């Protein structure tokens, strides 16, 4: 068997260029599937850690749904904005809620001495926000309830802001300017990295009452972050909060909700839909190019069988059985496929590396590629090699010897 | 008929233990009313027409005839590349096919391949070597299909190449060898599995007269070393090397005669 395998390989080496061109289809197929799997794997590994970081017991009350699409956004525009005081109302009345905080935000310019950063998202929250979202403070502290109530100009900044303004010094106690208002830096968020398209390290949080006083005279609406007592109670607390909000907004029983309860789970759903689409694309392109590649292999194997009719006759005359000829040509077609698969995998690994190095997307080489590759070799090689190999095996030795 | 004879180039002719038949020789091949009919559309071609023939161990036979006479078909059937449409073909003590009895016996493809592999050594007019393989690999081929382990193969191949005086050419491909050398590689390949019979189909057809003589010396030597040799040829001087000359015409045996120049004591006619 090993000797027959060797014969197959030497036949391929005799036509290097042809072999490589033949395998191109398979290379492309394997590359496509491989590269997309790498991206999905990369997304999965970073996404899962980020989602778990967010906490699965937190939800947000907003005017509209985050992921509802265009139509629900148009609907939401007509609704009443969410009132910051709703946060207090919920925490006073709900049983299954452990904490709430309003969230108001605007993009503002930050200045420190002669340095400035444009369009930073400044968020106004209350003192409970670190507890709700599970954020840690690296240096200094978060602001207190009284600082919030007294509308103090205090700010907690993220890692990226620190790097820009205070590369070598301790930011705590320093003064920075937000849209011209002087704030004291009292704390530094721990480094969290990127979360999908949001850089968590760009965060800047101030007391929401300070925020309203300085940046938001007109009420443009808020989001309310609500932390349930536990993950198990999440559905109960959502329902309870929904009813409280309806009551707060004086909705009649026949009215629909004029607000939305959002959750990171919605994000997970959206993410799953996106990766499912990617998978479909990968499998679609992959299988089409594998079929095309397979037909290429079949074609070249038919050519090879015809070219080598005389060789087949010689082999039969010295005692090769049909099975041995069959195996020789099957091995050959599988060898062609494996060249395609190996180069496809190498290209995909290269692509994954490039994506990983030069884009924020993390691309990871999945461990099961070997199995994938072997499966493709066996399947495509066997399916598309069978007909030519069978044709070779069934050649009549006399006709074959007379050929050419 | 129990026949066991070890025939290897380089071995001394040995007296084989045998149950003698009437002519005092061992039967190797027996053709009993063999016909081979091709159907070409509406036309029926009788390539072989009711041939009965007995070939003995250590025969040296030439088969002659004009083209289209059926000598190639006869060769192919002897060589188990083709099967007859009627008649009985017995090779040693095995029935290759029996189309005459009520229950038709016919070896299957694998059995025929096995006979070709172990019992028959072909030498062709066009050498039929694998062009990309070296002399060594070409000679090795029958041994691979016989499933012989690598170290044994190597030994046998080198010996066979030495027997045809090509030990120093084992790594050359056919294109690097002369016509005569190629045919000697083919002879080495035919011999390497110690076959019961050597079938040479126009072995000198593609060679000049000098090289032809050289190849015929080899075939004479093979016969002298107790091998059974059949040569198909249309050249009378090549045929004259054989001890028995069979003439085929229109699918029938026209003449089957002893070459009196070679044999003084005819025993098998």
B44 touches chain A (CB under 8 A): no
DSSP code of residue B264: S
Total structural domains in chain A? Answer: 2
B118 is in which domain, residue-wise? 57-82+110-258
> pLDDT exceeding 70 applies to what percent of chain B?
88
Residue B148 and residue B146: Cα distance in Å, rounded?
Answer: 6
Please write the tens of the pLDDT for every residue from A207-223.
999 998 888 766 678 89
- The answer to whether residue B5 sits within a structural domain is no
Please write the tens of the pLDDT for every residue from A59-105.
889 888 876 777 777 777 788 888 888 889 999 999 999 999 999 98
A198 touches chain B (CB under 8 A): no
Question: B113: which chain A residues are within 8 Å (Cβ-Cβ)?
Answer: 316, 319-322
Above 50 in pLDDT, residue B14? no
- The answer to whether residue A349 sits within a structural domain is yes
CATH of the domain at B245: 3.40.50.300
Provide the token pair at B42. 């509406």
Closest Cα of chain B to A382: distance in Å? 22
Same domain assignment for residues A171 and A228: yes
A314 touches chain B (CB under 8 A): yes
- Which of B81, B143, B199 would you mutate first to test chain A, the one with the most A CBs within 10 A? B81
Candidates A10, A311, A318; nearest CB to B145: A318
A61 touches chain B (CB under 8 A): no
Same domain assignment for residues A104 and A251: yes
Last residue of a domain, one of A226, A258, A290: A258
Residue B140 and residue B158: Cα distance in Å, rounded?
Answer: 9
End-to-end CA distance of chain A: 29
Closest Cα of chain A to B91: distance in Å? 16
For chain B, the C-alpha Rg in angstroms (whole number) is: 18
- The answer to whether residue A221 sits within a structural domain is yes
Above 70 in pLDDT, residue B7? no
Strand-pair partners of A149 = none
Same domain assignment for residues A9 and A146: no
Candidates B76, B109, B141; nearest CB to A318: B141
Same domain assignment for residues A243 and A344: no
A316 touches chain B (CB under 8 A): yes
Contact A322 B130 (CB under 8 A): no
Above 90 in pLDDT, residue A32? no
Please write the tens of the pLDDT for every residue from A352-369.
888 888 876 777 767 677
Contact A316 B141 (CB under 8 A): no
Same domain assignment for residues A273 and A371: yes
Provide the token pair at A106. 């605007």
Instruction: Count Cβ–Cβ pairs < 8 Å, chain A vs chain B.
Output: 59
* Residue A83: closest CA among A64, A102, A60: A102
Contact A314 B129 (CB under 8 A): yes
Same domain assignment for residues A369 and A242: no
Same domain assignment for residues A276 and A395: yes
- The answer to whether residue A396 sits within a structural domain is yes
Q: Which of the four pLDDT bands, split at 50, 70 and 90, describes residue A54?
A: low
Above 50 in pLDDT, residue A250? yes
Last residue of a domain, one of A258, A287, A308: A258
Those residues with Cβ within 8 angstroms of residue B164's Cβ, 6 or more apart along the chain or in another chain: B184, B185, B187, B188, B191, B218
Residue A30 and residue A36: Cα distance in Å, rounded?
Answer: 10
Is the complex ipTM more than 0.95? no
- The answer to whether residue B146 sits within a structural domain is yes
- Which of A318, A323, A328, A394 would you mutate first to test chain B, the one with the most B CBs within 10 A? A318
Question: A320: which chain B residues are within 8 Å (Cβ-Cβ)?
Answer: 113, 117, 145
Same domain assignment for residues A276 and A336: yes
A1 touches chain B (CB under 8 A): no
Closest Cα of chain A to B80: distance in Å? 9
Please write the tens of the pLDDT for every residue from A309-329.
999 999 999 999 999 999 999
- The answer to whether residue B100 sits within a structural domain is no
Total structural domains in chain B? Answer: 1
B129 touches chain A (CB under 8 A): yes
Report the pLDDT averaged over residues A97-125: 91
Please write the tens of the pLDDT for every residue from B217-249.
999 999 999 999 999 998 899 999 999 999 999
Same domain assignment for residues A36 and A90: no
Same domain assignment for residues A7 and A92: no
Please write the tens of the pLDDT for every residue from B115-145.
999 999 999 999 999 998 999 999 999 999 9
If contacts are CB pairs under 8 Å, which of residues 190-219 in chain B contact chain A?
193
Question: A321: which chain B residues are within 8 Å (Cβ-Cβ)?
Answer: 109-110, 113-114, 145
- The answer to whether residue B162 sits within a structural domain is yes
Those residues with Cβ within 8 angstroms of residue A81's Cβ, 6 or more apart along the chain or in another chain: A63, A219, A220, A221, A222
Candidates A10, A324, A398; nearest CB to B145: A324
* Residue A395: closest CA among A294, A296, A321, A298: A321
Same domain assignment for residues A126 and A212: yes
A366 is in which domain, residue-wise? 2-49+269-402
Candidates A3, A311, A318; nearest CB to B117: A318
Provide the token pair at B245. 């000359």
B174 touches chain A (CB under 8 A): no
Whole-number pLDDT of residue A174: 92
Those residues with Cβ within 8 angstroms of residue A143's Cβ, 6 or more apart along the chain or in another chain: A127, A152, A154, A156, A186, A187, A206, A207
């Amino acid at each position: 068997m090993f000797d027959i395998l060797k014969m197959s390989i030497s036949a391929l080496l005799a036509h290097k260029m042809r072999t490589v061109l033949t395998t191109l289809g398979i290379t492309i197929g394997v590359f496509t599937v491989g590269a997309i799997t790498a991206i999905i794997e990369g997304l999965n590994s970073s996404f899962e850690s980020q989602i778990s970081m967010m906490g699965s017991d937190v939800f947000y009350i907003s005017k509209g749904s985050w992921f509802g699409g265009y139509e629900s956004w148009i609907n939401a525009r007509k609704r009443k904005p969410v009132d910051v005081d709703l946060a207090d109302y919920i925490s006073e009345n709900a049983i299954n809620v452990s904490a709430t905080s309003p969230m108001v935000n605007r993009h503002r310019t930050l200045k420190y001495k002669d340095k400035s950063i444009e369009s930073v998202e400044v968020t106004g929250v209350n003192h409970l926000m670190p507890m709700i979202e599970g954020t840690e403070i690296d240096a200094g502290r978060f602001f207190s309830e009284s600082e919030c109530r007294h509308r103090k100009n205090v700010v907690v900044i993220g890692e990226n802001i620190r790097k820009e303004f205070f590369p070598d010094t301790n930011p705590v106690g320093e003064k920075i300017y937000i849209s011209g208002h002087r704030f004291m830096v009292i704390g530094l968020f721990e480094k969290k990295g990127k979360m999908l398209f949001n850089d968590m390290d760009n965060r800047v949080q101030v007391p929401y009452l300070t925020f309203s006083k300085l940046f938001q005279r007109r009420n443009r609406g808020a989001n309310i972050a609500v932390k349930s007592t536990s993950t198990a109670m999440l559905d109960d607390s959502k329902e309870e909060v929904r009813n409280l909000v309806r009551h707060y907004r004086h909705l009649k029983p026949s009215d629909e909700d004029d607000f939305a309860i959002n959750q990171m789970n919605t994000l997970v759903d959206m993410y799953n839909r996106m990766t499912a689409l990617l998978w479909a694309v990968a499998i679609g392109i992959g299988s089409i190019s594998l079929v095309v590649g397979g037909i290429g292999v079949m074609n070249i194997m038919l050519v090879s069988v015809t070219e080598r009719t005389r060789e087949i006759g010689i082999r039969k005359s010295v005692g090769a059985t049909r099975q041995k000829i069959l195996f020789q040509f099957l091995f050959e077609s599988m060898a062609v496929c494996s060249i395609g698969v190996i180069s496809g995998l190498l290209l995909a690994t290269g692509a994954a590396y490039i994506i990983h190095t030069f884009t924020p997307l993390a691309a990871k080489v999945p461990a099961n590629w070997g199995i994938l590759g072997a499966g493709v070799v066996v399947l495509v090689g066997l399916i598309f090699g069978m007909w030519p190999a069978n044709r070779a095996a069934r050649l009549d030795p006399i006709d074959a010897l007379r050929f050419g | 008929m129990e026949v066991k004879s070890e025939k290897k180039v380089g071995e001394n002719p040995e007296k084989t233990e045998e149950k003698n038949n009437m002519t005092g020789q061992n039967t190797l091949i027996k053709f009993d009313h063999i016909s081979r009919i091709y159907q070409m559309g509406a036309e029926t071609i009788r390539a072989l027409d009711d041939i009965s023939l007995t070939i003995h161990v250590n025969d040296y036979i030439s088969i002659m005839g004009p083209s289209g006479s059926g000598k190639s078909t006869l060769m192919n059937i002897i060589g188990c590349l083709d099967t007859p449409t009627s008649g009985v073909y017995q090779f040693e003590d095995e029935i290759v096919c029996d189309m005459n009895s009520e229950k038709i016996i016919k070896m299957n493809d694998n059995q025929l391949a096995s006979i070709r592999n172990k019992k028959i050594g072909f030498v062709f007019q066009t050498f039929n070597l694998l062009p990309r393989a070296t002399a060594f690999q070409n000679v090795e081929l029958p041994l691979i299909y016989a499933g012989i382990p690598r170290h044994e193969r190597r030994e046998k191949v080198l010996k066979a190449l030495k027997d045809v005086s090509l030990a120093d050419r084992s790594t050359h491909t056919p294109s690097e060898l002369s016509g005569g050398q190629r045919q000697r590689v083919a002879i080495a390949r035919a011999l390497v599995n110690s076959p019961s019979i050597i079938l040479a189909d126009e072995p000198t057809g593609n060679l000049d007269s000098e090289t032809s003589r050289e190849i015929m010396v080899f075939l004479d030597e093979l016969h002298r070393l107790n091998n059974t040799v059949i040569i198909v040829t249309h050249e009378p001087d090549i045929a004259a090397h054989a001890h028995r000359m069979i003439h085929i015409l229109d699918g029938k045996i026209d003449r089957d005669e002893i070459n009196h120049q070679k044999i003084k004591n005819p025993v098998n006619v």
